[in-house]
Amino acid sequence: MRFDTRPVQDAVPAVRAVGVGRTFGKRSKAVDAITAVDLEIAAGEFVSLIGPSGCGKSTLMRLIADLDAPTSGTLQVFGKTARAARLDQEYGIAFQQAGLLPWRTVLQNIALPLELHGMPYAERAERTEQLADLVGLTDFRDHRPDQLSGGMQQRVAIARAIAEKPRLLLMDEPFGALDEMTRERMQGELARIVARTGAAAVFVTHSIPEAVFLSDRVVVMSPRPGRIVAEIEVPFGKDRAELLRESPEFFAKVTEVREALHGAPVERANER
Amino acid sequence: MRRALPWIWGAVGVVAVVAIWELYKWLGPVDGVVLGGIEGQAGSGFRILPRTGDLNMPHVWDMFTRLGEGNGPGTPALWVSVLSGLVLTLGMSALGLVIGLVVGVALALAMQRWRVVEWGILPWVVVSQTVPLIAFAPIIARMGTQIDKAGFPWPGWLSVALIASYLAFFPIAVGMLRGLASPDPIHLDLLRSYGAGYGKTLVKLRLPASIPYLLPALRLGATSAVVGAVVAEVSIGMPGGLGRMIIQLAQSASADPALPYGPIFGAVLVGLIAAGSVALLGAILRNYRRGEAVA
């Protein structure tokens, strides 16, 4: 018998979905948000879900987060049910809106999950300071959300998502509301943070370059019914510099994802 | 300057009311204006403007000088009895507001927690406000007397506070219910993702989020409690407070027209103190009101 020195959890995929479907409504009015999704995400792997509106990418993320339950199939997160994974704080989550509590300061917002799970004050304060530093908001630690720009708010949300050192990050278009320049800077920061924490990530996005820049794998989805139509590996390694955006390999990948994505809308046009 | 502006406009408003009063008194017809009156028949027609004689409209300054005078030699000045009435009425209003706050918040919590309770109770809460206070007050007073007779001391001020709370709880219950239901779905998802149950979600999210809704409701409730206390004093005949004093002094108005304005000013002051206290509370809780439209 071979002696394996790696931690056991590394062998367990972060997410394993088999035949997962989610139907909204009943009988004649039933709408399949997603059908028969098979997806496996390894520990530490960064996966983007991309597709047109209504392809069920956000629904899939919400199922993984156990904010919603699948109507068919099985879904496991780190080998547990999605519910158990949620209760064990296996994932951190960020949404399109930062979703900060307006009455709390930057530090208090970052501390929210730690506070809810009873981390002692001294330890919490130290961890919160570290996180504020990590996202470059030390100077704004006592500001409240209405005093921050959209990019800063989103950085607070990301700090909050990684506060408990989760092994999985779930992000639903976190940079969707930001301008292009802020967006690219945030992508760079996210890549750096994720590389440092070694967490797996499920990243929902509309932007092809964003998906390619950040991901180890881009999962392309198609609407009506929502399903996976292509999976594209992006083998650029973990350490990605800004220069990558201007390299021919990057453009080649962007083209590949675009073609996979446009396979779907043609079908959609035929349906009409 | 910016900060002083609301105060300046507030003062302008008060001065304007005094000016309109005095201007009309000066220029208006002595007998007022009556529409459709029949010659020689007293009390016929509609009086659309009041008489302007000193008996009907005393000068504003007379109202204030009257406050400094007693009811004859050796008696204390009017303002002394107004002040003691004010303290009593204010105390009963405040107690009424506190009872209304407790009941209102408890109802809102129950209604937010269980839809069935909302469906079952909310119509009754609304209907309760259509029962006139005048009809309702004697019932409370009689119940108080019954309880008192049964051996539990039940002072009159408790009845008044209870009646005041009857007006105060309504805006608080409705405002608080809206406030508790106000958090964004995204915030609820977030708390759920942290595995937070009902209690933690309530403390960390719903209660803080309800404060911008609670404060205006509280302001309404506070002024309603004052009105409720004044009316309740009159309708259950409790002596010592401003409400009773207004009625009593109004009876001597024909001989001493400036007299009843003393307790009326007292009642206005109680209302201002009530609204001011809520504004102060709002200033203390200002961090919970971020993003709220400046009203």
Q: CA of B281, closest CA in chain A: separation in Å?
A: 16
Contact (CB<8Å) A93/B200: no
Q: Output B99 or A238, whichever has higher pLDDT.
A: B99
Question: Residue A5: what pLDDT?
Answer: 45
Q: How far apart are the first and last CA of chain A?
A: 59
Q: Which helix (H) or strand (E) holds A72?
A: strand A72-77
Instruction: Give the strands of the sheet with A15-24, arranged side by side.
Output: A31-41, A15-24, A72-77, A80-81
pLDDT at position B193 over 90 = yes
Per-residue pLDDT tens for B39-86? Answer: 777 667 787 888 888 888 888 888 888 888 887 777 788 888 899 999
Question: Residue B94: what pLDDT?
Answer: 94
3-state secondary structure A210-250: HHHHHCCEEEEEECCCEEEEEEEECCCCCCCCHHHHHCHHH
Per-residue pLDDT tens for B267-292? Answer: 999 989 999 999 999 999 988 887 65
In order, the DSSP letters of B201-270 are HIIIIIHHHHHHHHHHHHHHHHHHHHHHHHHHHHHHT-TTSHHHHHHHHHTTTTT-TTTTHHHHHHHHHH
B contacts of A145 (beta carbons < 8 Å): 290
What range defines the domain where residue A207 resides?
Answer: 45-65+89-271
Please state the separation of Cα A27 from the chain's center in Å. Answer: 32
Residue B186 has its nearest CB partner, among A97, A144, A145, at A97
Q: Is A47 in contact with A219 (CB distance < 8 Å)?
A: yes
Question: Residue B180: what pLDDT?
Answer: 94
In order, the DSSP letters of A85-115 are HHHTT-EEEE-SS----TTS-HHHHHHHHHH
A contacts of B185 (beta carbons < 8 Å): none
Residue B208 has its nearest CB partner, among A93, A103, A145, at A103
Nearest chain A alpha carbon to B203:
A116
Closest CA to A152 of A110, A211, A205: A110
Q: B133-140: which pairs have CB atoms within 8 A and are 24 or more residues apart? A: B133/B163, B133/B166, B133/B167, B133/B228, B133/B231, B133/B232, B133/B235, B134/B231, B134/B235, B136/B163, B136/B166, B137/B163, B137/B231, B137/B232, B137/B235, B137/B236, B138/B235, B138/B236, B140/B166, B140/B232, B140/B236
d(CA B274, CA B97): 10
d(CA B254, CA B208): 54
* Phi, psi dihedrals of residue A2, rounded to the nearest 5°: -80, 140
pLDDT at position B240 over 90 = no
A contacts of B211 (beta carbons < 8 Å): 103
Record the pTM. Answer: 0.82
Question: Residue A264: what pLDDT?
Answer: 47
In terms of DSSP bridges, do strands A168-172 and A200-205 run parallel, antiparallel, or are they unpaired?
Answer: parallel
d(CA A28, CA B22): 74
A contacts of B196 (beta carbons < 8 Å): 116
Residue B290 has its nearest CB partner, among A65, A87, A144, at A144
Q: CA of B285, closest CA in chain A: separation in Å?
A: 10
Check which CATH number belongs to the domain holding A131 and give it: 3.40.50.300
Domain locations along chain B: 5-57, 78-289
Q: How many Cβ atoms are within 10 Å of A238's Cβ, its own excluded?
A: 12
> Is domain B78-289 given the CATH code 1.10.3720.10 in the classification?
yes
B contacts of A97 (beta carbons < 8 Å): 184, 186
Q: Which residues are CB-contacts of B274 (< 8 A; sequence separation ≥ 6)?
A: B90, B93, B94, B97, B222, B223, B225, B226
Measured CA angle at A120 (ends A117, A123), to 5 deg: 110
Could you tell me if residue A213 is inside a domain? yes
Nearest chain B alpha carbon to A102:
B290
Closest CA to B170 of B218, B208, B110: B218
Measured CA angle at A70 (ends A66, A74), to 5 deg: 95
Q: Mark out chain A residues that contact chain B at CB-CB < 8 A.
A: 65-67, 86-87, 89, 91, 93, 95, 97, 99, 101-103, 112-113, 115-117, 144-146
Query: Positive or negative, the Cα torsion across B188, B191, B196, B200?
Result: negative
pLDDT at position B210 over 90 = yes
Q: How many Cβ atoms are within 10 Å of A179's Cβ, its own excluded?
A: 11
In order, the DSSP letters of A177-215 are TS-HHHHHHHHHHHHHHHHHHT-EEEEEES-HHHHHHH-
Nearest chain B alpha carbon to A97:
B186
Question: Residue A269: what pLDDT?
Answer: 46
Question: Residue B292: what pLDDT?
Answer: 54
Interface test with B, best of A81, A86, A95, A101 (most B CBs within 10 A): A101
Question: Residue B291: what pLDDT?
Answer: 63
Q: Is A200 in contact with A168 (CB distance < 8 Å)?
A: yes
Residue B186 has its nearest CB partner, among A86, A99, A146, at A99
Could you tell me if residue A53 is inside a domain? yes
Closest CA to A156 of B190, B184, B196, B155: B190
Contact (CB<8Å) A116/B204: yes
Closest CA to B141 of B127, B128, B152, B154: B154
Q: Taking chain A (272 residues) in consecutive chunks of 10 residues, what is each chunk's mean pLDDT?
A: 47 88 84 88 92 88 92 91 91 90 93 92 93 89 90 90 90 87 85 86 92 92 87 84 85 90 56 44
d(CA A28, CA A224): 15
Q: CA of A40, closest CA in chain B: separation in Å?
A: 21
d(CA B170, CA B182): 18
pLDDT at position B295 over 70 = no
Copy the structure tokens of residue B48: 């659309």
Q: Which helix (H) or strand (E) holds B171?
A: helix B156-180
The residues with which A168 forms a beta bridge, in sequence order, are: A91, A200
What value does the mean pLDDT take over residues B151-155?
87
Largest distance between two CA atoms of chain A = 61
Tell me how many domains chain A contains.
1
Q: Is A75 in contact with B264 (CB distance < 8 Å)?
A: no
Q: CA of A90, closest CA in chain B: separation in Å?
A: 10
Residue B291 has its nearest CB partner, among A87, A113, A146, at A146
Asked if the ipTM is above 0.90, the reply is no
Contact (CB<8Å) B204/A112: yes
Q: Which residues are CB-contacts of A79 (< 8 A; sequence separation ≥ 6)?
A: A12, A13, A16
Nearest chain B alpha carbon to A98:
B186
- Single-letter amino acid, residue B73: P
Contact (CB<8Å) B189/A145: no
Q: CA of A255, closest CA in chain B: separation in Å?
A: 34
